Amino acid sequence: MNYFELFDLVPAFDIDTANLAERYRDLQRAVHPDKFAHASEQQKLLSVQRTAQVNDGYQTLKSPLRRAEHMLSLRGIDLSHETTTIRDSGFLMQQMEWREMLEDINDAAEPQDAVDALYDSFASYEKSLFTLLSQLLITAAEDDNKQAADQIRKLKFMAKLNDELARIEDALLD
């Protein structure tokens, strides 16, 4: 399903999220199961299905990473079952450095300062990845799509690092 069409939006990475939220509310009102309480069983089922589609579409389009994946999927590139590894040696070296820093947090003189520094480092790197991703998704050129897929792989890795850092921070607070 093309969620951009469902929400009547131009397929683009940079979207107006306020407009998306407004369209979501409008669609929810139109297809909500309560509106079909006295309808036939088939219409009720259809309403539940449409509501699920609207919810899925909204969750996909409001998340920049999921929105980018959806755009590539619409272009024939499906990353959901992909096992391609990242071949960017600079990123792999940075990844190893971050992993070492994560392992050293508990031994740091000021663990919270180390956590904060890593959050800042991750955020800065993610910002640069999203900037490049936005530029690559403007065109539908095959090479740009491949590079955009690489950016998405990196961003997914960054999300895992952020989750790991959050767990470490939670353990420090316990």
Residue 73 lies in a domain: no
* Claim: this prediction has a pTM higher than 0.85: yes
Domain span at residue 125 reads: 89-173
Residue 121 lies in a domain: yes
Residues 139 and 97 in one domain: yes
C-alpha dist (Å) from residue 97 to 112, 154, 172: 18, 15, 21
> Of 46, 62, 78, which closes a domain?
62
Residue 19 lies in a domain: yes
The CATH number that applies at residue 24 is: 1.10.287.110
DSSP letters, 39-72, are S-HHHHHHHHHHHHHHHHHHHHHHSHHHHHHHHH
Residue 111 lies in a domain: yes
Rounded distance between C-alpha atoms, residue 83 and residue 33, angstroms: 39
What is the structure's pLDDT at 36?
77
Structural domain tally of the chain? 2
Residue 119 lies in a domain: yes
Rounded distance between C-alpha atoms, residue 143 and residue 84, angstroms: 16
Residue 84 lies in a domain: no
pLDDT at 19 over 80: yes
Residues 100 and 165 in one domain: yes
pLDDT per position as a tens digit, 55-111: 999 999 999 999 999 999 999 998 876 677 788 899 999 999 999 999 999 999 999
Residue 150 lies in a domain: yes
The CATH number that applies at residue 113 is: 1.20.1280
> Of 22, 43, 62, which closes a domain?
62
